[in-house]
Structure 1
Amino acid sequence: MNAHTDLVDRYFDAWNETDGARRRELIAATWAADADYRDPLMAGTGHDGIDAMIRVVQERFAHHTFRRSTDVDGFGNRLRFSWELVTPAGEAIAKGSDFGVLDAHGRLQTLTGFLDQEPAGV
């Protein structure tokens, strides 16, 4: 595993963490304080905005989890990977690819998501 893979796996740990205090710790360890996340459906800025965004997704898709579906590809301070949102039964209901830029400390500065498959009803 490389540092980019460790970071992205921690990113998914934050998305899947339902304990608010633990999720905030993961966000702080993964994201720069002034980080920015954007995809076609939502956006979050800073630790508070990213936490709020994750909380909304968890409420809408209770008991679903995100998982990485590809290796993490990266060079320098840039990375990319693909993911799936899966039901408790393991069915992928959404898929996407994300592209990120890291800050000088190796945390996510920006992440831009593209949806390859949207969940029904969105």
Structure 2
Amino acid sequence: MNAHTDLIDRYFDAWNETDGARRRELIAATWSADADYRDPLLAGAGHAGIDAMIRAVHERFPHHTFRRTGQVDGFADRLRFSWELTTPAGDAIVKGSDFGVIDPHGRLQAVTGFLDQVPDGV
């Protein structure tokens, strides 16, 4: 597993963590302190903003899980990856592609997300 894949797998561990204390630990290990996340529906800045954003997703989609689809592609301090949000039954209801920038310490500095498939009402 390369460093980019390990980083993004930790990223999804944070997204899937329902225990607030553990999620904040994962965010701190994965994101720089001044990190920024943006997609068409959500935004979060810094560790507290990213935690609040993830918590809101858990409230809206209880027991759903994010998972990486395919390989993480990257060079230098840039990377991209695709993902899906699955129901408790395992059905993918949202799919997306994200692009990230990594800080000099190997943590995410910024992620910009694009939604590739979204059901009505999301």
Structure 1-normalised TM-score? 0.98
Cα deviation for residue 121 of structure 1 reads 1.0
Deviations 1:82-113 (A, max 9, x none): 00000011100000000000001000000000
Deviations 1:16-57 (A, max 9, x none): 000000000000000000000000001000000000000000
* Matches of 1:60 and 1:121, distance apart in 2: 12
Residue in structure 1 matched with residue 98 of structure 2 by the alignment: 98
Q: After superposition, where does 1:74-85 map in structure 2 within 5 Å? A: 74-85=74-85
Stretches of structure 2 that go unaligned for 5 or more consecutive residues are none
* Matches of 1:112 and 1:83, distance apart in 2: 13
Residue in structure 1 matched with residue 111 of structure 2 by the alignment: 111
Residue in structure 1 matched with residue 43 of structure 2 by the alignment: 43
Which secondary structure state, in structure 2, belongs to the residue aligned with residue 121 of structure 1? coil
Amino acid in structure 2 at the alignment position of 1:24? R
Aligned residue pair count: 122
Aligned-pair Cα RMSD in Å: 0.6
* Matches of 1:36 and 1:15, distance apart in 2: 15
Residue in structure 1 matched with residue 20 of structure 2 by the alignment: 20
* Matches of 2:119 and 2:12, distance apart in 1: 18
* Matches of 2:36 and 2:117, distance apart in 1: 22
- 4+ long deviations beyond 2 Å: none
Stretches of structure 1 that go unaligned for 5 or more consecutive residues are none
Cα deviation for residue 118 of structure 1 reads 1.4
